[in-house]
Amino acid sequence: MLQRVQTIWLALAAIIAGLAFIFPIANFVLPDQAIIYSLFPKDAGINSASFYQQSPAWSLVILNIAFIILTIVTIFLYKNRGLQMKVLAFAFLVVVAYTCILFMYQTDAGLKDILETFCKGREDLLKTYMEKQETFYGFASYCPIMQMLLLVFARNGIRKDEKLVRSSEHLR
C-alpha cells in the first residue's frame, strides 16, 4: 500500500539526495577568492570571484545515486515488509558510507586537489592557502543527516505496519 507514511519519508529522502546534486557541499574561502565544492563541477563566470573543482566527486556521486535507487526500490516493496526492512537497512549503510567519505576524506581532499591544480609549482602559495582557508559547509553536506533521520522515520512506519498486520492475524 503506497499510501503509508513511510512512503512520504522515503520519497523525501530520495528528493533530498537529489538536491545534493544541485547545492554545494562546501565553500572554501581563501584570502583572495572562494572555491565552491559540489558533487559535479560547475563553470565559473569570467567576472566571478570564485572557481570550482575540476572533476566530479565520483565516490560521492555513485553512493548518492545508489541511495536514490535504493529508496525508490524500498517504496515499491510495500508488499514484502521483511525485504523492505533489509533494503532500507542497506540504504542506511550507503548513506553512512557517504557521510564518512564526505567528512573524513572527500571535502579536505577535494580542497587539496583544487589548490594543487591552482597553485602548480608554487608550494609556498599552496601552504599559505591551506593554512588561511575557512570552510563553510553548504546544504549538500547536511543532506545525509536529514536522509538518515528520514530513514529512521520510515523504519518506524514499517514496524508499525508489521505490528498491525501481526495483531490482525492473531484476531482471526
Q: What is the pLDDT of residues 53-103, one digit of tens each?
A: 666 778 889 999 999 999 999 999 888 888 999 999 999 999 999 998 888
Pick the CATH number of 5-38+56-171 from 1.10.8, 1.20.140, 3.30.1560, 1.10.150: 1.20.140
Q: What is the mean pLDDT of the chain?
A: 82
Percent share of the chain, pLDDT over 70: 80
Q: What is the pLDDT along the chain (172 residues), one digit of tens a residue?
A: 567 888 999 999 999 999 999 988 888 777 777 777 788 776 655 455 556 566 677 888 999 999 999 999 999 988 888 899 999 999 999 999 999 888 876 666 667 776 776 677 777 777 777 777 777 888 998 999 999 999 999 999 989 888 888 887 766 5
Sheet holding 26-29, edge to edge: 50-52, 34-37, 26-29, 134-137
24: three-class secondary structure by DSSP: coil
- What grid cell was written down for 158? 514499517
What are the domain boundaries of the chain? 5-38+56-171
Task: Mention every residue, 6+ apart, whose C-beta is less than 8 A from residue 71.
Answer: 10, 11, 13, 14, 17, 91, 151
Burial environment of residue 103 by CB neighbours within 10 A (0 to 12, 13 to 18, 19 or more): middle
The three-state DSSP-derived secondary structure of 126-137 is HHHHHHHCEEEE
